[in-house]
Amino acid sequence: MEPGTFEIAVRDASSEARCGVLWTAHGPVPTPVFMPVGTQATVKAMSPAELEALRVPILLGNTYHLLIRPGLEVIEACGGLHAFMGWRGPILTDSGGYQVFSLADRRRVTDEGVVFQSHVDGATLFLGPREAMEAQRRLGSDVAMVFDECPPHDATYEYACKAVERTLLWAAQCKAQDRAPGQLVFGIVQGGAFPDLRARCAHGLIELGFDGYAIGGVSVGEPERQILEGIERTVVHLPADRPRYAMGVGDLRQMTEAVALGVDLFDCVMPTRVARNGGAFTRRGRYPVKAGRYKADLRPVEEGCGCYTCRTFSRAYVRHLLQADEILGVRLLTIHNLHCYLRWMEFIRRAIAEGRWEAFRQSVWETYREEPE
């Protein structure tokens, strides 16, 4: 299949949930899908071989961080981002817009782009739509994101309106730039908490025409209810025949609800970050393996899981490693958490395909707890 082909195999009859396949230059991506975050050309604590063993369909890399270090020249000299990090599967790169706009005290925004200070050494840098797309072309990612302005979740109407105008201006410039062979480009819908601005931004992007559309400005510190409202207010305006991506959304329950609204792609640092802090995700919820009550617990991290960590080690052993600051403890929890997320998406795809979606969705709300037994 040609890169950019999006095949929807099954649509749920009672919601907007669907499962399908997005074809990229490095192969097919089953949807709905979760993308582990490899911000600096690595998923923290994991090797590419381990990611392949987990059957990770697609990774996310970040243009901003890779521009800062090691720099595009180094990555190009190594043959592009795939060769540089030893990953054979698809890669989606974020344009760096969110990272730049999170540097609120280090940046100056104009219609041309953003002047900002590097978080590493304080050097003055510039990133705009042309620079972001050139960087992603040179990286050679399978999916490139447009450069956008992401306002804070509590932005005023005036601020959000200006961000939408700038996002559309930049999206048009991004669309006009050269791209790597087979590279797809996704537009990003902004608009803050305002339905009319989200509709306006979505329709403006659709007029430009992109390979897929992302829902930006959600999961940026607002309560869960507002996250789902932002997704719902956006997705209704997006074309049904194109993939939809909820940027930064990674809570298991929130992803489930977003799938019901018609979202196809997700990314988040949660599974790896929680692992580094001694926490484990399970099908029933999240809990702190490093807590004292698990000191002599002989059960696996999650009973019935089947990942390498759970087949081989006890909670007691993993906790011991964490308490002793042994790197293996974080690695074992990361393997488990990523397996949990990937398995969750498999459950979702299977439930949609087999006509059990509403039953699965209901079971999530009935059984998933913040800290299960």
Catalytic residues: 94, 267
The token duo for 136 is 């992603």
To the nearest 10 degrees (0 to 180), the angle between helices 252-260 and 224-235 is 30
Q: ω before 32 within 30° of 0 (cis)?
A: yes
Let me know: does 218 contact 249? Beta carbons within 8 Å. yes
Cβ-proximal residues to 148 (8 Å cutoff; 6+ apart), any chain? 95, 97, 167, 170, 171, 188, 190, 216
Q: In sequence order, which residues have a C-beta less than 8 Å from that of residue 128 and are 6 or more positions away? A: 112, 113, 114, 147, 170, 173
**Cβ(330)–Cβ(45) under 8 Å?**
yes
Residue 230 phi, psi dihedral angles, 5° rounding: -60, -40
Tallying the residues shown for the chain, one arrives at: 373
User: Residue 370 burial (CB < 10 Å; 0-12/13-18/19+)?
Assistant: exposed
Contacts for 241 with CB less than 8 Å, ≥ 6 apart: 6, 8
* List of long-range contacts for 44-49, beta carbons under 8 Å, 24+ apart: 44/272, 44/276, 44/334, 45/272, 45/275, 45/276, 45/327, 45/330, 45/331, 45/334, 46/272, 46/331, 46/334, 46/335, 46/338, 48/85, 48/86, 48/87, 48/88
Q: How far apart are CA 74 and CA 194, in angstroms?
A: 42
Residue by residue, DSSP assigns 231-291 as HHHHHTTS-TTS-EEETT---HHHHHHHHHTT--EEEESHHHHHHHTTEEEETTEEEETTS
